[in-house]
Structure 1
Amino acid sequence: MSVLKDVRVQKGIRRLRAMGLKVHLHFKDENEGYIFIDAESIIQYITRLVDKNIKYPKKKVYYDKELNVLAIKVWKSKGDMIWVGKA
């Protein structure tokens, strides 16, 4: 039986795709293969994850290709109130 047809491998590939990752498969033969994940899709996934976990409303999470960093911009508009207390 081909490693590609193994239920555990197929389940892993489905999970990666469900996360929004672009998966590319390359199998040399029945017993050996590679699963490649596109770097851009990894960056997009992490950006969404970080954005979802920061509760501050005025923010922008983005990948800066020039600096090769994930940037998080936060700001406060004039007249905004900052509440101090438990998060």
Structure 2
Amino acid sequence: MIQSFRNEKYDHKVEILTPISGQDHTYALLATYEGLAEMELQNKKMFEDEEYKELITEFFLQNIVQGSMTTQLFRTMTGLKKETNSQK
């Protein structure tokens, strides 16, 4: 529900990743934004939205153990090309 809500209402893409190895109870929510400024803008909109806050609060209270979450930020590395011998 959270994934669908965010994909339909906000300007970013959300995917839920499930493990194929390792700890079965570990899941990841992958949100893709145009950039860091866009992430901040979309997060501000989400946490001003009472419907979203109600949805996310209920999910956290029912499914998340306190202290078990981590947040990581990654960036894509675009434009990288394989080095040739002359470039090394």
**TM-score clears 0.5:** no
Q: Greater relative contact order (Cα 8 A, min sep 6): structure 1 or 2?
A: 2
- More helix per residue: 2
The structure with the largest alpha-carbon Rg is 1
- More strand per residue: 1
